[in-house]
């Protein structure tokens, strides 16, 4: 799924080989609601300068990318362990059923809708340009930024270097994919160091989430390096204060992951219980697998535009606790939204927040 706490030279954050990703465009000159005052940075504990494994990692990164060895050692060494962060990475205890209605209520609320209307109106020209250039609807971009940070109000107050170091060197081994996730965060720390080494900025300054995601769109360091764009052409990329760069970057991220212009992310779906093979339809999870004909043959009922759709579909199930689940037919674009955050509940929140904001714009 996140952004940068101060501008960086464009050359260091050029868009990646593919044209699309997770960045958001908006104009510096465009009016925007001021973000709420951020809390003081969370303070870590023991510095990693005392850790042999951390210093060995610093030496390896410096050698691999020909960076100044002392600078890398000082940067990693000045990072501090965040004692409460590792437990935040552990999966929720099993047993409690998922509940789409409850999940939705956390993101589709009057505060986000009102802020989204303001963001959209303030950046309407930039959103329209991004939609025309990247094919990603304004409501999806607005939905992402709203779900992630309420348009910059909640961008996180952890020092990014502390968060990344903590998860790179102290990832909880009780996690079922501990080795894989630890490798991921070491890679993100490496990406952060490479970017910071090319600037004259203080690498201790950037703030973000407890997982190291930054800015309005909450980009991880590797996503910034690959997908962030200078969408207003001012020679720098700023995902914290510049809505144009945020909008363009998010649109670029999605196009890079295969967004299909003009294709709805979801269609309504019903069931013909007499021939329903729900387990077959649910087997691929959120991956679009079935043609419309195969979908219907499995007992799904499609309506209107969906009957003429020529792409592949997935049956998306959203559990509602002890109540019946909610179902939709997901297209490739639904799957692309989950590349930002691997959750069908997250993707539906983005879609529905964007729709609610669009409806409020028309009132």
Whether omega for the bond prior to residue 3 falls within 30 degrees of 0, making it cis, is yes
Res. 276: pLDDT tops 90: yes
The single residue of 139, 148, 196, 356 carrying the catalytic annotation is 148
Question: Angle at which helices 344-361 and 110-122 pack, to 10 degrees?
Answer: 60
Residue 19 is predicted with a pLDDT of 28
Q: Is position 148 annotated as part of the catalytic site?
A: yes
Residue 35 is predicted with a pLDDT of 42
Residue 363 is predicted with a pLDDT of 79
Mean pLDDT of 71-79: 98
Q: What is the pLDDT of residues 235-272, one digit of tens each?
A: 999 999 999 999 999 999 999 999 999 999 999 999 99
Q: What's the pLDDT band for 24 if we cut at 50, 70, 90?
A: very low
CA angle 154, 157, 163 (to 5 degrees): 120
CA angle 107, 188, 193 (to 5 degrees): 125
* Residues forming beta bridges with residue 236, ordered by sequence position: 9
Q: What's the pLDDT band for 38 if we cut at 50, 70, 90?
A: low
Per the prediction, the chain carries an average pLDDT of 89
């Amino acid at each position: 799924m996140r952004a940068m706490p101060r501008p960086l030279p464009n050359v260091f954050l050029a868009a990646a080989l593919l044209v699309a990703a997770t960045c958001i465009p908006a104009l510096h000159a465009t009016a925007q609601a001021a973000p709420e005052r951020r809390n003081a940075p969370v303070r870590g504990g023991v510095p990693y300068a005392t850790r042999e494994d951390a210093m060995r990692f610093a030496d390896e990164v410096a050698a691999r990318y020909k960076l100044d060895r002392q600078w890398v050692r000082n940067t990693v060494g000045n990072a501090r362990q965040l004692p409460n962060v590792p437990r935040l990475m552990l999966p929720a205890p099993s047993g409690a059923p998922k509940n789409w209605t409850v999940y939705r209520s956390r993101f589709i609320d009057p505060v986000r809708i009102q802020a989204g209307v303001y963001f959209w109106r303030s950046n309407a020209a930039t959103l329209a340009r991004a939609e025309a250039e990247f094919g990603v609807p304004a409501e999806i971009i607005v939905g992402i930024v709203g779900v992630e940070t309420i348009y910059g109000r909640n961008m996180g107050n952890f020092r990014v270097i502390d968060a990344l170091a903590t998860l790179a060197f102290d990832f909880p081994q009780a996690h079922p994919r501990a080795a894989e996730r630890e490798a991921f965060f070491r890679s993100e720390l490496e990406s952060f160091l490479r970017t910071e080494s090319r600037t004259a900025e203080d690498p201790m300054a950037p703030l973000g989430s407890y997982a190291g995601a930054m800015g309005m769109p909450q980009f991880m360091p590797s996503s910034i390096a690959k997908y962030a764009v200078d969408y207003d052409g001012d020679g720098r990329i700023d995902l914290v204060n510049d809505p144009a760069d945020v909008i363009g970057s998010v649109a670029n991220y999605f196009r890079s992951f295969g967004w299909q212009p003009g294709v709805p992310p979801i269609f309504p779906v019903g069931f013909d219980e007499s021939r329903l093979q729900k387990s077959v339809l649910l087997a691929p999870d959120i991956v679009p697998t079935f043609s419309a004909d195969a979908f219907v043959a499995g007992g799904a009922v499609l309506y209107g535009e969906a009957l003429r759709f020529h792409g592949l579909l997935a049956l998306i199930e959203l559990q509602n606790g002890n109540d019946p689940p909610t179902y939709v037919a997901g297209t490739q674009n639904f799957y692309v939204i989950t590349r930002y955050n691997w959750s069908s509940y997250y993707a539906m929140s983005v879609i529905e927040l964007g729709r609610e904001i669009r409806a409020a714009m028309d009132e």
